[in-house]
């Protein structure tokens, strides 16, 4: 483990992992959630005033971009506007291209990368990501300087803190923020897409979640991190979704410094371990009825919970190299799902087929997820009864 990596991580950890700091992002994220809920209403009206929203995952991708950008850059990118700014559209496209091409690039030795036909596109995608990130960082630096010149108190959140601390160079800040941005978008968008898909298929689970949210946040009360702490079923729904559909289905680690013994087998240093999270989280020996959506298995006091292996599902990794943005991603998902379910009843597409996952570097829906969003209290839309979960 490099000393530079350890130094940077020690600086970033407090602002991204400590609850008191993460909870401070609730207002920022709730503002984005409010805009997304209105966007859903707009999308329904756009299609003739119905209740159907097509390609929910695509819309949630824009939400996730807006949410994580608001936290990291302390600035909105316009992803939820009726007309998304051209530069933002290009930024979103570049992220998609980067992930799509990464799946091909990693199949070849690094020495041949510059000779691959797609290499220029791959580099161009990365270059544009850093260009936009650099512009956002530079904008914040200019805002801070203007406040200093006017002898005003400098206030801000994540990016402001990093710039003022002077513990990292601008280049290090740029690299770290870009990495967090890329890691945060797909986790939130894919997980909420699958959660809504499963809740639509399982109305009894959706009803239980709805009643929990209403009991903790009645009326139009805006939930915050303290309210989320009182919603164990909400957390169980997200955790079960991540078990069934881990965003990172597999990853690898190398035993760098020393040999290790696992299960009586000796592995020398420099051994590459490939970990298949998808296989483990679908193992019947670890999770009985592993293909069934059962949030209850994560509730404390349940017999299933006491029997589970502690590492049966680790969607954010574990240890010093665990996902840095985990707490922020979880807060985004909790706030969005709780408010969305309180406002809408989610129903399946009556003409839709089963949506299966596919791996494109990350695990994502193989086909569009189309769902109905009914205002709470409105008459249920006609359609077949919800089927069993996958």
216-263: per-residue pLDDT in tens? 999 889 999 999 999 999 999 999 999 999 998 888 888 778 898 988
Report yes or no on 34 lying in a domain: yes
Report yes or no on 60 lying in a domain: yes
pLDDT at residue 352 in the model: 86
Highest mean pLDDT among 14-23, 289-298, 371-380: 289-298
pLDDT > 90 fraction of the chain, expressed in percent and rounded: 52
pLDDT at residue 17 in the model: 60
Whether 184 shows a pLDDT value over 60: the answer reads yes
Summary mean pLDDT of the chain: 87
Residue 34: CATH number of its domain: 1.10.630.10
Q: How far apart are CA 103 and CA 101, in angstroms?
A: 5
Whether 206 shows a pLDDT value over 90: the answer reads yes
Report yes or no on 79 lying in a domain: yes
Q: Burial code of 225-237, b = ≥16 C-beta within 10 A, e = fewer?
A: bebbeebebbbbb
Report yes or no on 238 lying in a domain: no
Total Cβ atoms within 10 A of residue 294: 19
User: Considering its fold, how many domains does the chain have in total?
Assistant: 1
Report yes or no on 132 lying in a domain: yes
Report yes or no on 90 lying in a domain: yes
Picking from 50-54, 117-121, 286-290, 309-313, which range would have the lowest pLDDT averaged per residue? 309-313
Q: How far is CA 338 from CA 30, 230, 331, 354, in A?
A: 11, 12, 11, 25
- Look up the domain containing 134 and give its range: 3-220+341-375
Report yes or no on 184 lying in a domain: yes
Whether 382 shows a pLDDT value over 50: the answer reads no
**Residue for token pair 């909420």:** 192
Q: Give the pLDDT confidence of 265-323 residue by residue, as tens digits.
A: 999 998 888 888 999 999 999 999 999 999 999 998 766 655 678 888 888 877 777 77
279 annotated to bind ligand: no
Whether 205 shows a pLDDT value over 90: the answer reads yes
Report yes or no on 62 lying in a domain: yes
Mean per-residue pLDDT, 169-176: 86
């Amino acid at each position: 483990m490099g000393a530079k990596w350890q130094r940077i991580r020690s600086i970033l950890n407090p602002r991204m992992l400590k609850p008191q700091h993460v909870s401070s992002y609730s207002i920022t994220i709730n503002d984005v959630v409010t805009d997304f809920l209105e966007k859903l209403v707009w999308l329904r009206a756009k299609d003739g005033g119905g209740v159907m929203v097509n390609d929910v995952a695509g819309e949630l991708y824009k939400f996730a971009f807006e949410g994580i950008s608001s936290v990291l850059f302390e600035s909105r990118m316009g992803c939820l506007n009726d007309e998304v700014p051209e530069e933002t559209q290009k930024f979103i496209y570049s992220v998609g291209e980067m992930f799509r091409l990464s799946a091909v690039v990693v199949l070849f030795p690094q020495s041949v990368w510059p000779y691959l036909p797609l290499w220029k596109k791959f580099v161009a995608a990365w270059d544009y990501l850093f260009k936009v990130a650099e512009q956002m960082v530079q904008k914040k630096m200019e805002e801070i300087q203007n406040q200093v010149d006017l002898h005003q108190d400098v206030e801000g959140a994540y990016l402001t803190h990093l710039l003022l601390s002077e513990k990292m160079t601008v280049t290090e800040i740029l690299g770290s923020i870009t990495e967090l941005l890329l890691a945060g978008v797909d986790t939130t968008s894919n997980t909420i897409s699958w959660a809504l898909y499963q809740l639509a298929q399982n109305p009894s689970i959706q009803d239980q979640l709805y009643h929990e949210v209403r009991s903790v946040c009645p009326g139009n009360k805006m939930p915050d991190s303290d309210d989320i702490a009182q919603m164990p079923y909400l957390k169980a729904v997200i955790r079960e979704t991540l078990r069934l559909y881990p965003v990172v289905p597999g990853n690898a680690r190398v035993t760098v410094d020393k040999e290790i013994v696992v299960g009586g087998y000796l592995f020398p240093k420099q051994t590459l371990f490939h970990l298949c999270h998808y296989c483990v989280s679908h193992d019947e020996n670890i999770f009985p009825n592993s293909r069934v959506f059962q949030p209850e298995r994560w509730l404390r006091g349940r017999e299933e919970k006491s029997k589970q292996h502690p590492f049966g599902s680790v969607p954010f990794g574990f240890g010093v190299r665990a996902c840095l943005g985990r707490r922020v991603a979880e807060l985004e998902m909790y706030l969005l799902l709780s408010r969305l379910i309180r406002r809408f009843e989610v129903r399946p597409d009556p003409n839709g087929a089963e949506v299966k996952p596919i791996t494109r570097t990350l695990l994502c829906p193989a086909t569009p997820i189309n769902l109905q969003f009914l205002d709470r209290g409105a008459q249920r839309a006609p359609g077949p009864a919800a089927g069993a979960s996958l």
